[in-house]
Chains A and B, each alone.
Chain A
Amino acid sequence: MRNKSILTILLNTILLILSIITIIPFVWMLVSAFAPNSEIVRIDGGLFPRPSTFDNFLSIQERFNFVRLFLNSLLISISTTAIVIYTSALFGFIFAKFNFKGKNILFGVVLSTLMLPWAVTIIPKYEMMVTFGWLDSYKSLIIPSMVSGFGIFLFRQAIAGISDEMIEAARVDGGSDFYIFHRIILPMSRNTIASLAIFQFLWSWEDFLWPYLMINDSSKQLLSVGLRQFNGQYGTDYGGLFAATALSIIPIIIVYLVFQKRFISGIASGSGK
C-alpha cells in the first residue's frame, strides 16, 4: 500500500507540473497586462513583471476602436455559429435517417471538404465576392461559411445513434419530418450542439485571413485582424498588446464554460466511438 501512495503522489505531481506549464503563458500574459511598459521590458526584473496599473486597458480604446471590433467579432461569430449548428444538424439528420439516390456520393463530397485545403478555394471565393460586390459587407463573412463538412459529419454520427423506432412512432402519430427534426432530433442532439458550438465559435472568432481580405473599412473590421494591425503600429506598447490580447480570449472562454459539461461526450461520438 505504501508504494501505491508514493505512486499516487508522483502521478499527481507530474500532472500538476504539466498543468503549470500549460497555463503559465496565460498567467504571464495576464500579469503583464497590468504592468507598465518599463516594468515589462526590464532586463534585471524577476520572471514576472510587477502588476501595478490599469492604464494598459484604458489606453487600448484610444489606440484603436477595440470595443467596436470586439462587438463586430461577437456578432459575426454568434450568427455564424448559430447558422452552422442548424445546417449541420439538418444535413446530418438527412444523411443519418433518409435514403436517396447519390447519398454516398454526396456524403463523400462532405467528407472531402475535411481534407480540402483552404488555399484551393480561397482565391476563387475572393474573386466571387468581388464580383458579387460583397466586399466590406458582412454577407461575405457569413454566407460562404454557412455549411460545415465537419459539423455535418459530427451530427450524422450522433443522429445515427438515435433509434429509428422513436422516429417511426412520431411519424405514425402524424408528425412531419419538419416537426420530427425540430422537436425530437434537435433536443436530443444537445451534446453535439455543445461541442460544435465550442469549435465553430472558436473558428469564427480566430478566423484571420478571410475578414482581412473581405473587410477594408476599419470600423467594420474584426478583432483578430485589428489585433495584428495594432501590433504592427504600436509594436512597442507591450502592455497594451498584452491587455488587448487578454481581452480577446474572454468570449471563447465563456462559450467553453457554458458548453463544456456536454462537450466531452459530444466529441467522443464523432471520433470513432
Chain B
Amino acid sequence: MKNSISTTKWFSFRNVSIILLIAYFAIFLIYPVFRAFLGSFHDWNPLIQQFDFIGWENYSYILSDSLFWSSISNTLVFTFFSTLFRVVIGLGLALLLFSKMTKFRTAFQGLFYMPTITPLVAVSFVWMWMFDPQFGLINKVFNLDINWLKDSTWALPAIIIMTVWKDFGYATVLFLAGMMGLPDEVYEASTIDGANSWQTFRHITAPLLKPTTIFVVITSLISYLQAYIQILIMTKGGPGTSTFVISYLIFDEAFVGYNFGTASAMAIILFIIIGILTIIMFKVTGEGGIKNA
C-alpha cells in the first residue's frame, strides 16, 4: 500500500483526495444545482413524467402570486427578529458569564447550551404544548388568554420566541469563546487607565468582538432564511397564511403539490436573496468575516 503511493507520482494521497472531493461535488452539488436551475424553466411534474420547457413562466407566476410575497415578508420578519434577539441575548449573557463575579460559569454555560443541542423536531413539539391555550405553561405562568398558534397576530411571534429560546445559547458560547480569546493585558491596561466597565466594553471588547458578531449574524441570516421545521410542525403555515415562510412554501409546492418546476424557481430566488444579503453584510462590515477567519 505504502509503496504504491510513492512509486507513481500521479497516484498520491493528495491527488486521490482531491479527485474524490471533485467527483463527490460533481454528483451531489454541481449537478443538482444545474438541474434545479434548468428545471426552474420547465413545467416539471415527476408524477406524470412531465418536463416541458416553458421559459420564464414559473418566475412570472411566482412573482404575481400573493402567497409568495406574504411568505417573503414573513420570512424577512422572522429572520430579522430571530437574528436580532439571538445576537443581543447571546452577547448580553456572554458578558455576564465572562464577568469575574460570576459563580458556576461552566454550569450556567451548559444550561444555556441545552436547547441548542436538542433536536428541533422535539423542541417544536414541546413548544407547541407550551403555547397550548388550554394546558400550556406560557398562558398559565403569565396569566394570559392568548391562543398563540391559532391567532394570526401571535403565531409568528410565538415561533420567533421558540426559535430564539432554542438558538441563543450557541451565540452565547461563540461570544464567550471570542472574549476568552482576547488578551488579558488589554483589560488590565484599561482598568489601570481608570476606564469603567461600559467604557471597556464600548472601546475594547466590542471592536474586538466584531469578527464573532459578523460570524453569528451571517450564519443566523443564512439559517433563518431557510428555516421551516418549526413551521411544519407547529402551524403548517397557518392560521391563514400568517406563518408561511419561503422554505415552507417550497416544501409545500414540491412535495405536496409536486410542482417541481415552480418549487425550483422559488429555491433559486431564495438562493439569490441569501447571496445578496450575505454580500451586503460583508460590504457593510467591510470585513471578510468567514473568509479571513
Contact = CB atoms under 8 A, between A and B. Distances in A.
Tell me if chain B binds chain A. Answer: yes
Interface of A: 4, 7-8, 11-12, 14-15, 18-19, 21-26, 28-29, 32, 40-43, 45, 47, 49, 90-91, 94, 98, 100, 106, 109, 111, 113-125, 127-128, 130, 144, 146-147, 153, 157, 176-179, 181, 198, 202, 205-206, 208-209, 213, 224, 227-228, 231, 238, 241-242, 245, 248-249, 252-253, 256, 260, 264-265, 267-268, 270-273
B263 interface: yes
B264 to A, nearest CB: 6
B77 interface: no
Nearest to A25: B126
Interface stretch (B56-64, B114-122, B150-158, B187-195): B114-122
A177 B174 contact: no
23 contacts: A11-B101, A15-B108, A22-B111, A22-B169, A24-B137, A25-B123, A42-B135, A94-B14, A109-B29, A114-B290, A116-B271, A119-B251, A181-B13, A198-B117, A205-B119, A209-B229, A227-B125, A228-B121, A252-B119, A264-B109, A264-B177, A268-B177, A272-B293
Contacts of A91: 17, 21
Contacts of B250: 119
Contacts of A109: 25, 29
Contact residues of B: prevailing secondary structure: helix
A111 B291 contact: yes
A22 B165 contact: yes
A142 to B, nearest CB: 12
Q: What is the size category of the interface that chain B forms with chain A?
A: 35 or more
Contacts of B271: 116-117, 120
B28 A144 contact: yes
Given A146-B24, A227-B121, A253-B117, A98 B267 contact: no
B173 A267 contact: yes
A117 B274 contact: yes
A117 B110 contact: no
Nearest to B229: A208
Contact of A127 (B1, B35, B115, B122): B35
A126 to B, nearest CB: 8
For the complex of A and B, list the 3 residue pairs with the smallest distance between their C-beta atoms, beginning with the closest: A268-B177, A206-B119, A272-B211
B36 A121 contact: yes
A177 B268 contact: no
A146 B27 CA distance: 12
Contacts of B111: 19, 22-23
Given A121-B29, A260-B110, 14 more contacts: A15-B108, A18-B93, A22-B115, A29-B126, A119-B226, A130-B46, A177-B13, A202-B119, A213-B255, A238-B135, A241-B129, A245-B125, A272-B290, A273-B211
B215 A272 contact: yes
A249 B134 contact: no
B88 to A, nearest CB: 13
A42 B136 CA distance: 11
B278 interface: yes
B238 interface: no
Nearest to A93: B17
Contact of B99 (A11, A18, A43): A11
Contacts of B84: none
Contacts of A205: 119
A179 B1 CA distance: 11
Contacts of A11: 96, 99, 101-102
B212 A272 contact: yes
B14 A100 contact: yes
Nearest to B109: A264
B130 A28 contact: yes
B177 A124 contact: no
B120 A206 contact: yes
Contacts of A267: 173-174, 177
B159 interface: no
A100 B135 CA distance: 62
B225 interface: yes
Contacts of B25: 109, 147
Given A202-B119, A253-B117, A272-B212, A19 B108 contact: yes
Contacts of B275: 115
A115 B222 contact: yes
Contacts of A41: 134-135
Nearest to B121: A224
Contacts of B14: 94, 98, 100, 177
